[in-house]
Amino acid sequence: MTAPRRILLVNGPNLNLLGVREPEVYGTETLADVERIARDAAAARGFELRAVQSNHEGVLLDAIHAAREECAGIVINPGGLTHTSVVLRDALSGVALPVAEVHISDVMKREEFRHHSYVADVAVVHVIGEGVHGYATAVARLIAVITGQTD
């Protein structure tokens, strides 16, 4: 059976406030803009994109678990859960899909507590600090991994 040509885009807590929350850090683009950017990047490579955002960890876990049967890979910006959630990391590891971790800001240039990512060791792609357009980069790199197009 061939893998589905679908990517799951997961955005964690507070990312629904993009465009409003700290525009000097995150910019003025909205979550709808992010989803459009990622969807366009996937479509340009013959993939669909399903997007989920929640401020509730369990909703994100359920979406990740469902992706095991429905998707070929996951692009995730876990938001603050990046630095706190072992269960999110375990869900990503448990579904055994390739994962791209994306962050709008350069977390390594921010507060010390943001320097550790529980997702980093399960992700095969990392895009940090490229703004919302980093989502397109993450999608493209993940699809390259999925399709075997990496160098």
Sheet holding 125-128, edge to edge: 48-53, 6-11, 73-77, 99-103, 125-128
Residue 42 covered by a domain: yes
pLDDT bracket for residue 96 (50, 70, 90)? very high
pLDDT at residue number 148 = 93
- Examine residue 118 and state whether it is found in any structural domain, yes or no: yes
Tokens of 44: 């340009």
Q: How far is CA 48 from CA 42, 68, 88, in A?
A: 6, 15, 23
pLDDT digits (tens, 9 = 90+) for 141-150: 999 999 998 7
Mark the binding-site residues, compressed into ranges: 77, 83, 90, 104-105, 114
In a domain, 137, yes or no: yes
Catalytic residue flag (residue 135): no
* 127: helix, strand or coil: strand
Task: Clarify whether 65 is annotated catalytic.
Answer: no
In this structure, is residue 134 part of a structural domain? yes
Total Cβ atoms within 10 A of residue 147: 14
Residue 39 lies in a domain: yes
Domain count, the chain: 1
Residue 1 lies in a domain: no
Q: Smallest Cα–Cα separation from 18: which of 4, 8, 28, 10?
A: 28
Q: Which residues are annotated as a binding site for substrate?
A: 77, 83, 90, 104-105, 114
The one catalytic residue among 103, 116, 126, 133: 103
- Note down the domain range covering 25: 6-147
**Out of 26, 126, 133, 135, which one is annotated catalytic?**
26
Q: Which of 70-74, 102-106, 128-132 has the lowest mean pLDDT?
A: 102-106
Greatest CA span in the chain, whole angstroms?
46
- The whole model's pTM is what? 0.93
Check residue 116 and give its pLDDT. Answer: 81
Looking at residue 132, which CATH number applies to its domain?
3.40.50.9100
- Report the pLDDT value the prediction gives residue 151, as an integer from 0 to 100: 56
